[in-house]
Structure formats: C-alpha cells, structure tokens
Structure 1
Amino acid sequence: MNQQIRDARKKARDAQLRRELIEEELGQTRQSLSQAARALDSLTSGSSSAGHVRTRSWGQLTEELLRTQAELSETKLLLAQARTQLVLLGGELALLNDRLTERAGTATAGQPESWYRPTVASLPHWNVLRQLLCDRQWRPDQIARLDKLSTDVVSRLSDPRSEATVQRRGLIVGYPQAGMTTDMTAIVAKAIDAGYRFVIVFSGPYEAIRRQLQSRLDDHLAAPAGTSDVFRLTDELFDYKSLAAQVGGLRFEKSVHSAPLNDDRNLAQSGTRLIVVKKNLALIKRLVNDLKKISTPLDEIPVLIVDMDADSTSFSERRALGLALTKMIDMLPRAQYVGLVASPLSVELSQGGSAATLSPYDFILSVSRPEGYFGLRELNSPAPISSGFYLAHVRTVDRGSPGLREAMDMFVLSAAVRAYREGLSGGGFSPHRMLIIGPMRLELLEELRGQVFNMWKGSNFDTSAGRVRLRNLFESDIRPVSRHEEGLLPGSFEELLPSLDGMLDWFRGYPIEFAAEVGSSPFGTIVVSSPQKAGSLNTAGLTVVYLDAPARLSALPVIAAASGFRTGYQDLVRIYVPDESDGDGNGFRDHLAAYRDADEKIREDLASYALPYHGNA
C-alpha cells in the first residue's frame, strides 16, 4: 500500500510538471499567433514598418497563422486533459491514503472487508422503485443498468452501522438530459435500505427545479409495507425554512435508548428524514445552524448528501458553496457526499485548483452511455447537404432576423414532419419545443423576447411567400438529412401540407414563454431563456435551439440542452449558432468538435482510473 501511495504521488508530480510545460507552451503559442496576426495586419495595411514582412508571400503568412491556430487549439485541449489528470490523480492518492488509514482504524472495530452485500429481501425501497419502472414500461436492460449503478455507488459509501466514523465523497459523471434524476432516486432508495436515515438532496438554484426534483422523489420513493416511513421535511410547495417548523423535525426514534442510533436495532425502527433544498448559500448556512440543535448526537446519524448541481459554472459561486458544504459535512461525522454532474468538462473547468471545492474525491464513476442517446457524438455527425458533407444538426447563420427566421421556420416545419409521422403511427402528438438562448442581462433578454414575439406574429406561414420559404427549407435541409439518417418523410412537400396546416392551427396562440421552464406548455412552446437557466430546463421534446449570443466557449455546455432521448425525431434536431469566429479564428463548429473529443477522452480516462471497490478497509 505504501508503494502504491509513493507511485501515485510520483504520477501527480509528473502530471503537475506536464501541466506547467503545457502552460508555458500555450503562452509561447499565443505569442506566436499574435505575431503572425500583426504581420498579416501590417501586410494588408501597407505600413512602411512592415517592410521586412513584405518579402514573404501572403500564402506563407496565412499558412503560418493557420498552423499556429491549430497548435493553440491542440495545446488548449492538452492543458484541459492535464488538469483533469491532476484531479483524478489527486482523488486516487486521497483514496489510497484513506484506505491505508482506515485499514488500521477499522480492523480493531471489527468492520468486515466488504460490508455491502444486498439481497432482494434487504432492498424494499429499491424493489418498489424497480416495480414502478417496470409498470412504466422500462426495458429490462435499462433497469439492470440502474441497478448496477446504484449498487456501485452505495457499495463505495461507508457502513452506516460501523463503530468507526468514515466519510466518503464521490462524483457520478453522467450525460446531459439522460435520466440523472432517476439515477439519484435509485441511489437514495438503496442508501435508505442500507441504513442511511437522513437524506439531504440539493437541487439547482431555481425553485422550479427543486419542485420538479421533490415531485420525482415523492412519486418514486414510497415506504414499502413493513418498513419505517420516509418523513419528508419539504414538499412541492414548501421549500426548506427551518427544521423546527417541520412536523416531526429530526427527532430520530430509538428502540434501544442505551445504544447509538446507528446500532442495527435502532436503524431498523427509525424512519428516514428527507430534505430537498435549493443549493443556495443562505439556505445551507441556515441548515448548518439547525443541525446544531438536533438532540441526537451527530456522530450517530448516518447521512447521505446528494448534490444534483455539483457542476456549478461560476467559480466564485462554487468556491462559496464548496466552503459552506464542507463546513456542513464536517459537522456530520457519518456524512457521505455524492455529487452528480452531466459533463466531465464542466467539473474540470469549474475546479480551478481551489482548495474550497469538495475534491479530491474518494471515487469517481462514469455512467455508461445510454442506448438511443442523442448527444455530442450525434451533433458532430456529418450528412450530405447541397454540395459536400456538413454537420447534420448544426447550422451557422447570421445573428438577428435572418438566422432567427430560419430557426422559426425549422421549428414549424419539423413540427409538421413529426405530426405526419405520428399520424401514420396512430399516436397522439408529443411535445415539440424550441429554445432561444439569449443574453444574461434581464433587460436585453426582455428586448429579445419582444423581437421573437413580433417575428413570430409576422411569420406569414399561410401566405405564398411563407410556403415558398418552408418548401425551400424542406428540400434543402430536412430531406437530405432525414434521408441520410433514415427518417420517415412524405414523398413531397405537398403531401406534408395537411400536417403543416394542422400544426399552424395549434400555434395560433403565439406560444412564447420568457425564461420559463421548457415543458410548462402541454404542446408546443418557444422558450426564451438566459444561458444560466437554459442548462437547468426540462427539455422534453426540444427540437430546435437558437443561440442569440456570441458563440464563445462558454456556450458549449448550454448547447448540451439539445442532448437527450429524441426517439422518432432525432434527424429533425437543429442547432443554430452565429457564423462568427473567436479571437483565435476558430468557429463554433471547431469548438463543438474539440468539446466532443475532450469529453470522450476524459470519459475514457475516468473509466481507466476508476478503482475497484474492496470495502472500507
């Protein structure tokens, strides 16, 4: 074990050195790029100070500039990978240190080598959840995946019955819009079955998201017959205020008063307390103050803390929240922390090396890619459009009226195609939605909403000019992509017209919402949202995304809102981004491809670094 620790430390030192070298190379490459750009500017301006440059051809300078830009992009990717490797190695080193310490500390306590050996009879809450999912037509392979993931997570937590108090912190890396709420529910169900009696679930910072999370837990987490109840200290309408104001509070029941709460005899009779609370600094501080008032000794309470918003994008916000969460965890000696994130890149970018974050983690698990999932891989897939191959689902357009008009036309046209398909299948029409991502400032967002409303109102889809626009878009965009991806289409645009007219009848009410939750309308909706909220929206039925903001790197995680399960209309998904380049000359498509490559590479690294579980020792 000591040799493993020494090896891990050497790896960490080597990775740190590699990071410093790459950062130095990054600075040199940026300087080279700047010099080449200035040379080009001098050549085109005809300045007399550029005489030494004119001896070189325009082609040579352009080639040098492009080569330097490519080197810069590659160096950025290498730097991100180096930072990620440092995070992973830090977690591995911490886990090895913990295991070495715990091996000595828990041996005398008589804790078994591997405490988690669940049986069907010992999993009543999980059995209820599994049956519910079966009743809702989940496939056996989907349930098996959920069963394995939740077991993998709970097995890496500490034994709630152990005399030794051992904390663990873990991270689950999933996929955007891929059922992470259900993953969380399964983990909570098995943790309750294992003996955890206080569960705190942190949602995102918005009340709509907290209510949605509370509703899902209330629906999926029922108390089976013969077990103690799950006391909910929050509900859909009542967010956390103060523990003293809740019915039941945190007075844990004991059947054997001389034994601690985490004694098996007491855990069997004690109910579980569940709180779903927004991840808000003031609320966390209030919760910390209330924990000090609990009569049950805190070192006897097995606590599970689930963080559904572990990949906060604001570094300053993450630092403050990390400090507050760390303080709360330190108060609870038996607390286990499990964070869930939708992208390994968001974790890496938000860490920043701050000691205030919750890393290093004792374990990091990468969720397997769900079958039928539509994500970065598909967004970068090519398809024949006009002449040559282009990205099947991404369109670069001019910001403003022309691009927004095309995106709206695609929203209506794709609705008609979906209605045509579902009419053939005999099913009812499922939700169909468009997301417009605007600026962060509220006044600018309100201005954009007015522009969207006016453009929608004047779209004239019923006129001859409107029909010509839709026909051209159908022939130039939808037909080649859908044929390439084997999507069902009518034989002609005229054959689509009955479905189109039906959809326009639905849309007469100008269905536009402002910074609202995608999904609040029962049918078709255009949502205008800020980037902060776009990543937290329920995107069921989302088909068209329009980015009305500079196509910077920061927009990449937001575009992930288009990810998810798009069964039956995957070929119709479209992302409209500005036809702009960043300061390095890279367009949004370049960033999207690099984002995909880095995402997949880091997921591979996570899988290779995931240490097998061998119990708490």
Structure 2
Amino acid sequence: MDSQVNNPLLKVVKMAQSLLEEEDRSAVTPSRIAEKIELILMMQPSWRLDLDVEAAVAELVRRFSVWVGESAVLRDDSGHQDWLVASRKKDWRYWQRYRDWLEVKLPSAAIEELDRTTDDILGLLEDPTREGGWDRRGLVVGHVQSGKTGNYTGLICKAADAGYKIVIVLAGLHNNLRSQTQVRLDEGFLGYETAPNPDDLSLAGVGLIDRDPSIRPNYATNRSNSGDFTPRGSRNLGISPEQRPWLFVVKKNKTVLDRLLRWVRNHVADADDPETGRKVVTHLPLLIVDDEADHASVDTGEQVYDEGGRPDPEHEPTTINRLIRRILNTFTRSAYVGYTATPFANIFIHDRGRTADEGPDLFPSAFIINLAAPSSYVGPARIFGINDGTQRSGGLPLVRHVTDHASADGSAGWMPLRHKSTHTALVDGVPGLPASLKEAIEAFILVCAVRIRRGQGSEHSSMLVHVTRFTNVQQQVVAQIEEHVRHIKQRLLRGIDDGVIRARLRRLLEEEIASTSSRIAASGGRADAGTIPDWADVETLLPQVLSDLEIRMINGTAKDALDYVEHSHTGLKVIAVGGDKLARGLTLEGLCISYFLRSARMYDTLMQMGRWFGYRPGYLDLCRLYTTSELTDWFGHITDAAEELREEFDLMVASGATPKQYGLKVQSHPVLMVTSRIKMRAARSLMLSFSGQVLETTALFRDPAILGKNLDATRDLVVSLGEPERQGNGGAQSSSRCVWRGVEHGAILDFLGRYRTHPDAYKVSSPHIAEFIQSMVSRGELTRWTIALIGGGAGGSLTLRPDVTLSMLTRSPRSSSGNRYSIGRLLSPPDEAMDLDGAGWDAALALTREMWRSDPARLQDGREPDVPSGPAIRRIRGFGAPGVPARRDTGLLLIYALDPPKEIGLTRDDPVVAFGISFPGSDAGVKVEYKVNSVMVREWESDYGSSE
C-alpha cells in the first residue's frame, strides 16, 4: 500500500475525487473527470509522464458509480449512556490519517459509510473515560470478503482517539491469518511495520501521512509469522494510563490467550475485586475485536439452565471462549465487538449464559449491526442470482460447471467428493489434471496478461485451487499444476511444438473470455467490464506472465506464504493451493480464477469458503468460478437463506426489537445445516417461535406405507372441506390450484396429527407445529386458515376427491439415503402470497423493495424485485399496512402432490404429499420447545475436522 500512496495514477485519482466531491454527482461525467485531471496535471506536470489518463478516468467513473445503502442496527441501551458527540471528535488524529489513507483507494461514498458505521459502533460502546464498571458486547455482521477488516481498523482508530488504551484483536486460528491481520493494522492504525526488533522501525501506511512520532501507538505483537504474543516479548512492556494505546494482534490459541491473561493479571492489574479477590484492571479501558467471531469463540459445551432460566454457575466453558471471557472479566471497563459474515452460531449463544470466573457469555446483548455493502461489492446475490419466486435469475455469467473431477457415481476419479488422506489423484489411471483444471489455469494465465494490458500489471492476481483438505493430497495437486505450467512454459518460451497450446489459448481468449466480457457489458455491467485486447497483444505478454507465475501451497505445514506486501510494487501472480487455511479469513488479493470442489453441510462453513466474493474493480468480467452444479445449487440456497435473514433483521430493526428478541430465522434445508450442531449447544432444546416464518417439508420419506398414510391424511382433509376456489388471488393466479378460505384451525390440527414428518427435518415437525398453533389459538391468533392445493406440474394425475384432481409436480432429489430423500425448496414467494389481495401484494412488494434498497449487494445492476419476498409477505399478513388490515388470525397451509422421482425407487402409485406452512408475523411471543435431532458425529467431523 505504501507504493500506492506514491503511485502517480492513484495520487491523481485521489486529488480529482476530492475536487469532484464538491459537485453534483449527476454532473460527474467522463469529460468532466478528464477536465479535473488536466487541471491537476497543469499543477503537477511531472506526473504526466507516468500517468495513464484513460485508466485514471475509468477508475474515477467506477468510483462515482458506487453507492452504499444504510446499515441497520438492533440495540439495547440498558445501562448505556450516550456520549459520542461532535465535540469529542474534533481532535481525532488516528481516524483522520486513516481516512486520508483510504481516499487513495476507495470511493468517497464507501468512506462516508465507513465513517457513519464506525461512529454507530463506537457510540454503542461505552465512553472510555466513563468512571465505574461497565461492559458492552456487540456483533457486526458484514458480507463475506466485504471489507470487515477495514471497518474494524476504522473502529480501532476512533476507539484509540476516544481513549481506549488496550486493544486486543483476535485474528483467527493460524499464524498466516494473524500475520496478515497484523500487516493490515500496521498500515491502517500503527503507521509502521512491526518487527521482532523494535529498533527496525519503518514507516508504513498511515504513518506516511502523519509522521508525528508522539501519536504512534505501541505494539506487543509483530508481523512475522512467529510474531504472536509471548512472555519474552512482553517482558519490557510498561503500561500506564498516560501512555499511548497498545495493540495486541493474537491468535485464538489456548497457549497464547493464557499467556496474555496471565500477563494482564500480573503486570497490568491495579486492584483486587472486593467480592472474589481476583486481580482486576480499573485504570485502563479495554476493547476486544473478535475477527470471525463465530469461529472458535463460541462456547460449544452444553450449559445447564434451571426452571427459571438461570445458568449453572459451575459450568466450564470451552477453552477459547473461557479465556476470552476471563480477559474481559479482568477489566472493570470493557467492550467486545465480534465481526463475522456468518452470525448463525453467535445468535445461538444463550443470552443469559454466565459463570462465576468468566462472567457473561459473548452474546451480543448491546447491539447487532448489519453492514450494508457498496454497490461495487460482488457477493452471492451477484454471482448466483436471486430466486424471484419462479426461477433464479440475475447472476453473472462467471460460473463454469466441473464434471470431470470424479466418476459418474462420485466414487472414483481425480478428486471424488468423499476421499481419504491416502487418495491418489489420477486421470485415466495416471497422475495429471482434469481438463477443467487445465482450462482454469490457462484462463488465469490469459487473465494476468489482459490485466497487464489494462494497466493493472502492478496489482496482485491470484488463483484459488480448493479441492481437498488433506495436505498430502494437496501436495499431489501442487506437483501436477507445476508440471502443467512447466509444460506450457517450455512450449511457449522455446517455441517448440507450441502450435496446439497457442491455438487453445487463443480460442479460450476469443470464444470464452471476450464473449463473457461482452455479455456482462451488454447487460448493463459496463463498469464491471473492460476491453479485451487482441490475441496478438496478449500473446506478447505470455512470457512475462509465465516467468512471474508462482504456485504456492497454503496450509499448516507448508512454508509458503502469500507475501503480497513484498510484491506490492510488481504485483504477485500466484496459484494458491490449499484447504482449510484458504477457507476462512485469509484474503487472496486480486482473486480472479477459483477452482472449488470442497463440500460442506453447514451454511457458515460453505459461505466462508467463498473466497471469490469481494471487490473486483476493473476486472470482474475476467473472473471465473469453476465448481460443480451441486455446489452451485447449494450456494444458491444459501444466498436465498442469507438474503431472507437480512430482510428479517431489517424488519425487526423497523419494529424496534433488541438483540435478545432477535431469533435466527433461516430456511431449513435437508442437507445444509445452519451451523455445526456442536456450536448450537444452547440449541439442543430450543424455544422456537414460528411467527413470521415459513416451514416446508423438504426431507421426505421413501417408505410407501408412510407415504400412503400421509396421502390418506391429505385426502380426508380435502374431503372435509367445501367447494374450492379454482385459482389464487393477488399475484399468484393459477387455475391449477384449489383454495379454501376460512377453514377452522381444528382441521389443520387434525391433519398435522396424522401427517408424519421425517425425523431428519431440522425444523418441520408436525407435533411441534401443532403445539405452536394451539398455543396461538389460545391467544386469538391462527384460528382460521387458508388451505391451497398446488398442482399444475408435469407429473401424473392425483385425484383426492371426485371434483379435485391435480397434475402432480416433479422435484429432483438433492440426496437420497436410507428411508429419506431430500429436495430443494418446495414453495416460492408467490405461493405465500395466495392469501393476499391486490393491496396486500402491492404493500408486500413495496416493503421488499424498501429492504433491498438499503443494501446494494442485493440488487442486480440496479434492478428491483417484481415479486414480494417471503418475509415481507408474512410481515404484511401479520401487521398490515396503510389500507391493508392485519390478519394474524389467519394461517396458510400449502399442500403439494409430488410425482416421486424414479431415482428413489418409488412408482407413480406412491405419490408424495409435501406441505408448507406460512405463518403471519406476530408479537405474541409464543414459543415451543424443540429438541434438535442428533447428527452422526462423523458427518460434522468430515466438514469441520481438519488434517492441517
């Protein structure tokens, strides 16, 4: 980044951006930008020699096309005193120099939003100068690879300005991630490169903007791979209230955290707790920033609670959780802020969890902030598209499906999904790469050349290869990639027998890379696409790319590291092969090509593996994701679940809810689990409310006897009803649907009492649903129901009574084992709108669009949805809107007849009845106890375990 500070292009861009900020954004055109650049060059004529004016204009066009929505906050101000006013910020220097430094590389809209959100977070913490004891816990939820490190760096700068003296950053489990975080905080907060020898001080990042040594923060850890906190390194540390703030960047490691805790108690503590006698720190306020807060920090031990909800004070938390809490509990004035993109495990922390030695658990009781990403962020919604209720659309054409990694049945081949550490990677019986990976590597070589031609040659370019978690299998993959790259080098550099390779590369450039770039530009993504040079121009750059290209293995035993900093002037061009080390936290700078075959069953694990999310300024059209169609489906489901969760969050913010009232609402899925059941130790006996949720049976029986009884229950229900309507209302018109309105709740309870749901279904349990409905009825809600039979599919006919015959739907199985088979989503948002009239449909659609506008990462090239979302539909049904009455008394039961797929061994004589229930929103607070089903230990171990 130091090179960026002195880069002529970036200096001109920063100055021009400052000048243009004074004008109306609508007046910022390419010609106006060029005028400002010319004005700057008249003042600094020496910059003209090394400046690509066209690249500077393109960069500023991109920056001024970026917009950012507003972050949403759930808060609880109990015991909190507002304190962050303008007068407190007038002399802040850490933040000001960080802001100045960011202006070199970020759009002004993104910097303004960072300023707002870090003010919000800091303001929700406590004033570090406030006397007495206080403790604040919060959670910041961002998108994967969306800039959370930049956000907490800004928070740390402001916290230090405000008076926090001890700042501890918990930075992952591995040395390379801790080191990467240290490097970023060296640049963004400390202002100098931390080294084992404190005499080796070299200014960096913000230190080049404000060089005043009197404000330099102190450090207790350094950027070297072994630079974590040690007693030896802390021996000479002196702490006093008058000194500048201290920064500790440490791993979530038992030995390290134990050392830090003992050092704090022995060298920093200045008093004894009058009740317990333990040593405490009263004179220094503490801020802990927990990066990837859902990983390792959550207490996975099962804590017992009595009938009054009081926790067992003798409970022993798991190691990392215990040590983090003990450090917090040693300070009488402390603040804890967790950062994560996958908050599922954090929400399951019991809000009343507490033990004598550790104090309260890490539940974010003070606040949860949902960060909005800039419109330039490339997240799951942009990669995989959004389910608009009928189909998935809007995704960028960047995904390429891999089919040659394994045999047809998935049991053999180069890299079958389920393989062991002893696996040998073979193609047709010999070591080598599948054609798809060869293509991905060759695409990466071409992309590096195109980026050089676009003026991005000094920027990093990375390729991710993530196909196995076993280090010895990774070693085989590295050797095979090295051999393939060596083969290309020999042919191209020596010009020997190179015709086939040159023809293949040219075809890939012209027919794949160029055509995709044109498609993106034509679809309205001109800011995401650039010029693809002719083959002749690219061909001349191939020797340079191949000479610079490196292959690295990144795991716990490899010596390789991604030393982007050392290549900051020339740009690192690297193919990174790894497993779990590349699955969480570690950033691959300039990631262009991803080859990804890893599987996981947890939402958070799979989403965190998505290293390809993030920002791709000026080269998004060159990016590719090579993966399986199955993983694409899974990521699509996660995308829908994540978007629904964020919408639920925004709706709760609008209603003034607190973090303790926030219940996790994630679509159930037969294969993907919310998070590791180990992390959900408070969820073994959950108290769940189904209000405002949709439940659907996607884990189904294969047993004909059980299917027959479920069909009988459905037939008896239909026979008991009167004459149906033949089509739905609102936005879901269809003559293939039979609808009954005003059905008494008793009929629903009878149906649920007879319908047997599969025991592997995560949330959909007939007895629990019936219990919930009965409890709501006692409060005057869910007394009447709308029932709809959904047909119109391509399957056979099913007659439920003489005047009710449906054409059955078809659903492909996602998986099949034992007495269960699983499908994807059963219903779509238009189905849930069955019970809305026109005004209700319009209100739900307006609410959906309002939620989406708050977060540009949800929008596809600025297009808003034209179908209301499930959360918005259920909100309007429960709470109404102007001109739309609330109908909390009415639930919606949707029944589907499925023609059983041949793959699962059933015939058309065994129709499968599945159902979905859409509950209107409610504030009744009714919950039912839900016992989480146990899962085979080896299943989650295969996903969370690691050999690295």
TM-score between both structures, scaled by the size of structure 1: 0.69
For residues 543-601 of structure 1, the C-alpha deviation after alignment (integer angstroms, 9 at most, x for no partner) is 0000244476676325421112111110111111135xxxxxxx222111111112222
Higher fraction of helix: 1
**2:102 alignment counterpart:** 133
SS in 2 for 1:512: strand
Distance 1:126 1:419, change over 3 A: closer
Distance 1:350 1:459, change over 3 A: farther
For residues 203-243 of structure 1, the C-alpha deviation after alignment (integer angstroms, 9 at most, x for no partner) is 12222322232233233325976966522222224634445
**2:633 alignment counterpart:** 590
**2-side partners of 1:483 and 1:453: how far apart?**
32
**2-side partners of 1:390 and 1:608: how far apart?**
26
Find 2:578's aligned residue among 512, 517, 529: 529
Q: Pairwise mapping of residues 28-47 of structure 1 onto structure 2 (< 5 A)? A: none
SS in 2 for 1:560: coil
Task: Verify the 8 A CA contact 1:517 1:538 in the aligned structure 2.
Answer: no
**1:330 alignment counterpart:** 329
Distance 1:289 1:379, change over 3 A: same
Amino acid at match of 1:232: Y
Asked if 1:466 is matched to 2:501, the reply is: yes
**1:301 alignment counterpart:** 284
**2:149 alignment counterpart:** 181
**1-side partners of 2:124 and 2:337: how far apart?**
10
**2-side partners of 1:308 and 1:365: how far apart?**
15
SS in 1 for 2:282: helix
**2-side partners of 1:191 and 1:390: how far apart?**
39
Amino acid at match of 1:596: T
Distance 1:315 1:145, change over 3 A: closer
**1-side partners of 2:509 and 2:244: how far apart?**
58
**1-side partners of 2:296 and 2:520: how far apart?**
34
**1:367 alignment counterpart:** 371
Task: Verify the 8 A CA contact 1:552 1:588 in the aligned structure 2.
Answer: no
**2:82 alignment counterpart:** 114
**1:557 alignment counterpart:** 607
For residues 144-188 of structure 1, the C-alpha deviation after alignment (integer angstroms, 9 at most, x for no partner) is 111111110110112223233120111111223332222112111
For residues 475-531 of structure 1, the C-alpha deviation after alignment (integer angstroms, 9 at most, x for no partner) is 44323321111133458xxx3233133124321466211114445463321111113
Amino acid at match of 1:592: F
**2:262 alignment counterpart:** 289
Task: Verify the 8 A CA contact 1:531 1:558 in the aligned structure 2.
Answer: no
SS in 2 for 1:312: coil
SS in 2 for 1:299: coil
SS in 1 for 2:585: coil
Asked if 1:496 is matched to 2:535, the reply is: yes
Q: Pairwise mapping of residues 220-259 of structure 1 onto structure 2 (< 5 A)? A: 220-221=188-189, 230-237=217-224, 239-242=227-230, 245-246=233-234, 249-253=237-241
For residues 237-273 of structure 1, the C-alpha deviation after alignment (integer angstroms, 9 at most, x for no partner) is 46344457436524314xxxxxxxxxxxxxxx44322
The Cα shift of 1:446 comes to 1.2
Find 1:421's aligned residue among 437, 440, 454: 454
**1-side partners of 2:505 and 2:216: how far apart?**
57
Amino acid at match of 1:533: L
Structure 2 unaligned residues grouped into runs of 5+: 1-72, 192-209, 272-280, 302-317, 355-360, 387-392, 406-413, 415-433, 493-497, 522-528, 555-559, 659-948
**1-side partners of 2:246 and 2:216: how far apart?**
9
Find 1:575's aligned residue among 625, 646, 658: 625
Asked if 1:412 is matched to 2:445, the reply is: yes
Task: Verify the 8 A CA contact 1:172 1:340 in the aligned structure 2.
Answer: yes
Distance 1:532 1:233, change over 3 A: closer
The Cα shift of 1:421 comes to 3.2
| Higher relative contact order, structure no. (Cα contacts within 8 Å, ≥ 6 residues apart) | 1
**2-side partners of 1:556 and 1:163: how far apart?**
44
**1:545 alignment counterpart:** 594
The Cα shift of 1:143 comes to 2.1
The Cα shift of 1:328 comes to 1.8
The Cα shift of 1:139 comes to 3.4
Amino acid at match of 1:532: K
Higher fraction of strand: 2
SS in 2 for 1:451: helix
Task: Verify the 8 A CA contact 1:156 1:613 in the aligned structure 2.
Answer: no
Mean Cα displacement is larger for which, 329-338 or 600-609?
600-609
Bigger-Rg structure (1/2): 2
Distance 1:353 1:364, change over 3 A: closer
Distance 1:421 1:454, change over 3 A: same
**1:448 alignment counterpart:** 477
Amino acid at match of 1:593: G
**2-side partners of 1:558 and 1:455: how far apart?**
29
For residues 71-91 of structure 1, the C-alpha deviation after alignment (integer angstroms, 9 at most, x for no partner) is xxxxxxxxxxxxxxxxxxxx9
What's the Cα RMSD here?
A: 3.3
Asked if 1:376 is matched to 2:342, the reply is: no
**1-side partners of 2:256 and 2:90: how far apart?**
37
**2:520 alignment counterpart:** 485
Q: Pairwise mapping of residues 599-610 of structure 1 onto structure 2 (< 5 A)? A: 599-610=642-653
Task: Verify the 8 A CA contact 2:599 2:631 in the aligned structure 1.
Answer: no
Mean Cα displacement is larger for which, 431-440 or 457-466?
457-466
**2:398 alignment counterpart:** 393
Task: Verify the 8 A CA contact 2:446 2:538 in the aligned structure 1.
Answer: no
SS in 2 for 1:159: coil
SS in 1 for 2:454: helix
Structure 1 unaligned residues grouped into runs of 5+: 1-90, 104-112, 254-268, 383-387, 580-586
**2-side partners of 1:394 and 1:478: how far apart?**
12
**1:87 alignment counterpart:** none
Mean Cα displacement is larger for which, 218-227 or 592-601?
218-227
For residues 277-304 of structure 1, the C-alpha deviation after alignment (integer angstroms, 9 at most, x for no partner) is 1221211111111221124231332110
**1:69 alignment counterpart:** none
**1-side partners of 2:330 and 2:551: how far apart?**
46
Task: Verify the 8 A CA contact 2:530 2:621 in the aligned structure 1.
Answer: no
Task: Verify the 8 A CA contact 1:154 1:191 in the aligned structure 2.
Answer: yes
**1-side partners of 2:442 and 2:457: how far apart?**
23
Distance 1:331 1:247, change over 3 A: closer
**2-side partners of 1:517 and 1:351: how far apart?**
34
Amino acid at match of 1:408: I
Count of equivalent residues: 472
TM-score between both structures, scaled by the size of structure 2: 0.46
**2-side partners of 1:390 and 1:145: how far apart?**
26
The Cα shift of 1:391 comes to 5.7
Distance 1:315 1:474, change over 3 A: farther
SS in 2 for 1:485: helix
